[in-house]
Amino acid sequence: MQNKNVLLAVTGGIAAYKACALTSKLTQQGANVKVIMTESASKFVSPLTFQALSRNPVYTDTFDEKDPEKIAHIDLADWADIFLLAPATANIIGKVANGIADDIVSTIILATKAVVYIAPAMNVNMYEHPAVIKNMQVLADFGYHFIEPGAGYLACGWVGKGRLEEPETIIDVIKTHQGNRQLLAGKKVLISAGPTRERIDPVRFFSNRSTGKMGYKLAEAAYELGADVTLVSGPVDLKNPTVGIKLINVTTAQEMYEAMTDNFPNQDIVIKAAAVADYRPKITYDEKMKKQDGALQIELERTQDILKALGNRKTNQFLVGFAAETQNPIEYGTEKLKRKNLDAIVINNVAQEGAGFGSDTNIVTYVNRELEQHDIPQASKKEVANELFKLILQDMKDEKA
């Protein structure tokens, strides 16, 4: 935390008293701490307390402009390296999730480009309310990071989850995450995701069951590790990735081939997670094909083999492929690794429960050029993505050794 500019936002809950200890410990660890407070927060703890602990002015009013040469809330938003919202009430979570800016905290959080950490604290029933859960998911989709509350006796008398996490734990979580953000700092990562669609006529196409979830989680994980991420996505029913990830939308295998090869030369890590069509109709129609008696035959032709093309062009890139198999997955995946000149391949049996298309979980085996195998048991696709990057980074490190 040494020399980090931490903007601590305190909102109106009884857990505001813990923010005092949090301010003190952040300062002791070398952080530059400035505190902003809602009007409700100041009813629990005096701004003077935070001023004494942070050795900086405390801000409670959006319209209190202490320096006429600056717009205070924008200046604070720009100053921060880290924005920490602790405690975060259901009210402030709801405001930010819906873009409401009617006090100094909600205004600054919408204006800042800093990494945002949110530590909720509230009654267990509030924490589990569908509206609060929905709002937290919206903020998570924005790229904000949650530090989950602890469980135990709450000030209201209830026992359950909702107690603000201890200051030491909050700081440890932030330090770990900040450290991880440096693992891919300065690296360029190119990822493909989703299916492709091969047009037959204006209303019909060939495609597959890929949802793009794994590729999107890989892009999200790479971005959180500090990489400059480009995501080439086929047509998927997913929200756009985190702001900061360059998204290139494509439809056909040819479009994905062009996007991947065009962006390939200056990349450090390339992961082809997309399920690209191997074949496309040789003839397409401008008008809808009419139903006819008897069987229909459609002649297909091969599409470009994107992964093989990248393997042939590879210079310093660390190239990773995916192999979705239904039988003999390790055998077929390893053969693909060798044939396409890959540095590693991620193999999964899509017929296995918990690893198929559309699932929120995955079960994979990572195999590198040395044919070393690392099994990743069933876990969320985000957790699998993080594990894969650990293995990729280790192999890249070993190659340089």
The domain that holds 331 is classified in CATH as 3.40.50.10300
C-alpha distance from residue 36 to each of 12, 67, 106, 300 (Å): 12, 16, 10, 63
Query: Catalytic site residue 20?
Result: no
The rounded distance, in Å, linking the Cα atoms of 131 and 162 is 15
- Number of DSSP helices (H) and strands (E) in the chain, helices first: 13, 20
For residue 170, what are the domain limits? 5-180
Q: Is 160 left (phi over 0), alpha (psi -120 to 50) or beta?
A: left
Tell whether 373 and 241 lie within a shared domain. Answer: yes
Tell whether 45 and 168 lie within a shared domain. Answer: yes
Backbone angles phi, psi at 212, to 5 degrees: 85, 0
pLDDT at 157: 66
Tell whether 325 and 362 lie within a shared domain. Answer: yes
Tell whether 133 and 256 lie within a shared domain. Answer: no
For the chain, list residues with pLDDT below 70. 152-160, 243, 400-401
Backbone angles phi, psi at 59, to 5 degrees: -110, 125
pLDDT at 155: 63
The rounded distance, in Å, linking the Cα atoms of 235 and 208 is 11
pLDDT at 36: 97
> What's the gap between Cα 70 and its chain centre?
33
Backbone angles phi, psi at 111, to 5 degrees: -95, -20
Q: What is the pTM of this model?
A: 0.72
Token pair for 263: 């962006």
Cα dihedral 74→78→81→84 (10° resolution)? 10
Among 69, 111, 75, which Cα is nearest to 56's?
Answer: 75
Among 56, 15, 1, 52, which Cα is nearest to 33's?
Answer: 56
Catalytic residue among 74, 156, 185, 351: 156
Tell whether 28 and 48 lie within a shared domain. Answer: yes
Tell whether 370 and 227 lie within a shared domain. Answer: yes
Backbone angles phi, psi at 73, to 5 degrees: -70, -30
Tell whether 368 and 293 lie within a shared domain. Answer: yes
> What's the gap between Cα 146 and its chain centre?
12
The rounded distance, in Å, linking the Cα atoms of 41 and 294 is 75
What DSSP state is assigned to residue 4? -
* CATH for 150: 3.40.50.1950
Domain end, chosen from 138, 156, 180, is at: 180
Buried b (16+ CB within 10 A) or exposed e, 4-35: bbbbbbbbbbebbebbbebbbbbbeeebbbbb
Tell whether 167 and 196 lie within a shared domain. Answer: no
Tell whether 115 and 203 lie within a shared domain. Answer: no
Domain end, chosen from 135, 158, 180, is at: 180
Q: Which residue has 């924490």 as its token pair?
A: 127
Domain count, the chain: 2
Tell whether 280 and 154 lie within a shared domain. Answer: no
Query: CB 72: neighbour CB atoms within 10 A?
Result: 20
